[in-house]
Structure 1
């Protein structure tokens, strides 16, 4: 009897482990079996007329498909489109097309995507896309809305990040809105090149190379996004007139080149009220000119802000707390720093206006020392290192200075996680508790 109970117990454990694996790896499965039983979707599209709404019943549908007329395809979440062909799963060529509530599983390679758009005014909403290449790809596609989608890379075995595609990949497109999407495990979560008047708002981007990657994008807005565990939270290159505001970039620190926010050749832009926490470099600025950085919170980064060949930028009312190195600069001039809070600075407020009457000066000595020998990090803020830094500053070129630092920090923005943050951890703990319960019950049965 004991042997039978033990066998039953092992069977239960095996089933539970397989369940755990299936839950934690939703991309895995048996595509061949699903494909053979799938309902062809292209004939349904061909039979529809412009303006029709196709409502898919729960089930599995076969791609690839091409939409050449203005229609809508909807599902309550139970319809899955699978594609193993060398083409994109869904190609949209008609203006005004709308997709909502579909699950898309794309196993194509090369420059393909779960959804490929070559049209205007397209709406893509509440889609769940699992892809082995790009998630959503826009080419010469403007005035589209991409909202509330869940996009992630999947594969049966580990894949180098350079072999993956982008979650949302936009090229030569204008006036698009990318809103409240959740994107993970891609090459770049959101990649946008050569566009204008783009809105990227409320997205969660994680576990990718660059969470948000802008190149040659002008007159646009990046607001209320959160990026965690990427190599770089947001990489913004060769742009002008951008608003980067109210974002949270945290824990980009796993790579030697990690930054919360990278600004390269950024001009006449506004970087305001962002929380940049726990990154290797909080804000990295190179060849950036004429920008305003105001009311940002730079917390617990190794380097708070790093400026190289940066000119004529204004830094006002930013808060620097618990950074190993608060700020560094090289080959930079005419930057104005005023009314920032530096937690390592001991100021003097004679006039009692909340501002120090003596300036805070950036000291590059410590960074230069540890660049030659990282072991010197052990001497951070030691009296000897402070003494040498003061001597270095006195004998060299004057570095940038905050002319009137804040004596106390402004109220810091919230640094809490989003409501769904940690959900996977809760799921794992729940599964462990379930296994423990089964183990206890089974042992009780064996004793009986």
Structure 2
């Protein structure tokens, strides 16, 4: 009997010890934050912490390697409601299926860096939060959810002067969504496998610079904005919808679209109901449509490279744009005065595009003699034509991949000439 009693006591102590140990391995983050005074630094040793934490004072949180914070299943894992908070080097995993953001920011002048987030909702939400910096952040959504069920990667509303840079976002709804905000900088980010890479709504003076958007439904959706700058972005292979664009401009004024590369999208640049915009030094290569303009006026479109698209361009009810000095890959020009511009206009008749929109099967007959004959019989109205009055003879925009293709072509031609010359010389020697 004493033997059995001893075993029972030992098992009870052992189970009690394991329970305490399990409790200690998942540490409530809020308690540690509460113990940290304003201005102090909280260093988190490796381990797992449970969130639902609210930060109401300016502190620094630094995670050592292998720090993981998980959800309490009730609210955001971390909410920053103070100014001047810094959080770095954490991993956050949020498995709850709720509308709350994984990380919520409602304060100013905060810094988040070197953070990895797995979420089924919004990764980071900024609500009336200003002058914050988000840097070196990875956000991954649930690829098994439909686009409609996912949240945005980074979501800003009524937030001004924020800097979002060097983030990597995938499998979310919209990568970076900004609404009713101004003076935000979005630079050097990469977004893939989502709906819209970058989505602006009713913003002012947003700067999109050096970003990448690939394998999304559309690259950049810029809507209802003023004084947007999109400079040096790469928008490639965004084809996951019937009218996927590299860049869409809708109801946009005073934008500067410069030095961007739109490759292998359904439409390179699509602009509608927009005015007073400047579009220059962009590349539109191997898209179905290079550039398409609808009900847009008083825009400047020049020094762009538009080549190897199925349809180079189309304009609809957009006769009052200043379109000149672009390079069209299929234009055979004539420069009689040596100014680098063709004396013959480049005219894009969108007959083929208009026909295939109504009857997609006609895409099979592109550039066939029968299609050319039909085009002569059924001319489209001239207001639908895209006309460049002085197309460039040489490409003003030469990106790395275009330069590589050109170099490869020159190398192949040179090698061919060497082989041919050697063959001719050798044949001549043998005949002698």
TM-score range, shorter chain: 0.7 to 0.9
Q: Which residue in 2 is equivalent to 1:68? A: 56
Q: Distance in 2 between matches of 1:90 and 1:288?
A: 40
Question: How many equivalent residue pairs?
Answer: 382
Q: Which runs of 5+ in 1 are unaligned?
A: 1-32, 417-448
Q: Distance in 2 between matches of 1:53 and 1:396?
A: 68
Q: Distance in 2 between matches of 1:231 and 1:398?
A: 27
Q: Distance in 2 between matches of 1:134 and 1:395?
A: 47
Q: Which residue in 1 is equivalent to 2:133? A: 145
Q: Distance in 1 between matches of 2:72 and 2:312?
A: 50
Quickly say closer, same or farther: Cα 1:393–1:317, change in 2 above 3 A.
farther
Quickly say closer, same or farther: Cα 1:320–1:390, change in 2 above 3 A.
farther
Task: Tell me which moved more, 166-175 or 83-92.
Answer: 83-92
**Native 8 Å contact 1:315 1:338 kept in 2:** yes
**Could you say what secondary structure the match of 1:102 adopts?**
strand
Confirm whether residue 282 of structure 1 aligns to residue 263 of structure 2.
no
Quickly say closer, same or farther: Cα 1:392–1:342, change in 2 above 3 A.
farther
Q: Distance in 1 between matches of 2:380 and 2:126?
A: 55
Match of 2:151 among 152, 157, 165: 165
Confirm whether residue 221 of structure 1 aligns to residue 223 of structure 2.
no
Compare CA radii of gyration and give the structure with the larger one: 2
Quickly say closer, same or farther: Cα 1:34–1:210, change in 2 above 3 A.
farther
Bigger RCO (CA 8 Å, 6+ sep)? 1
**Could you say what secondary structure the match of 2:229 adopts?**
strand
Q: Alignment RMSD, CA only?
A: 1.9
Match of 1:119 among 90, 100, 107: 107
**Could you say what secondary structure the match of 2:84 adopts?**
coil
Quickly say closer, same or farther: Cα 1:299–1:111, change in 2 above 3 A.
same
User: What are the superposed Cα offsets for residues 144-199 of structure 1, whole Å, 9 maximum, x if unpaired?
Assistant: 000110011137xx211111111100100100000110001000110000111010
Q: Distance in 2 between matches of 1:274 and 1:220?
A: 16
Q: Which residue in 2 is equivalent to 1:208? A: 194
Q: Distance in 1 between matches of 2:261 and 2:189?
A: 15
Match of 1:409 among 395, 400, 413: 395
Q: Which residue in 2 is equivalent to 1:180? A: 166
**Could you say what secondary structure the match of 2:172 adopts?**
coil
Give runs of aligned pairs for residues 1-400 of structure 1, distance below 5 A: 37-154=25-142, 158-390=144-376, 392-393=378-379, 396-397=382-383, 399-400=385-386
Q: Distance in 2 between matches of 1:169 and 1:371?
A: 35
Q: Which residue in 2 is equivalent to 1:4? A: none
TM-score for both structures, normalised by structure 2: 0.85
Task: Tell me which moved more, 396-405 or 77-86.
Answer: 396-405
Quickly say closer, same or farther: Cα 1:403–1:323, change in 2 above 3 A.
same
**Native 8 Å contact 1:286 1:310 kept in 2:** yes
Q: Which residue in 2 is equivalent to 1:12? A: none
**Native 8 Å contact 2:314 2:384 kept in 1:** no
Quickly say closer, same or farther: Cα 1:343–1:382, change in 2 above 3 A.
farther
* Aligned-residue offset at 1:336: 1.3
User: What are the superposed Cα offsets for residues 349-370 of structure 1, whole Å, 9 maximum, x if unpaired?
Assistant: 2223221101011211111111
Quickly say closer, same or farther: Cα 1:310–1:397, change in 2 above 3 A.
closer
**Native 8 Å contact 1:77 1:103 kept in 2:** no
TM-score for both structures, normalised by structure 1: 0.82
Q: Distance in 2 between matches of 1:77 and 1:402?
A: 58
* Aligned-residue offset at 1:41: 1.1
The list of structure 1 runs, each at least 4 consecutive aligned residues, that deviate by more than 6 angstroms after superposition, is: 33-36
**Native 8 Å contact 1:35 1:62 kept in 2:** no
Task: Tell me which moved more, 397-406 or 316-325.
Answer: 397-406
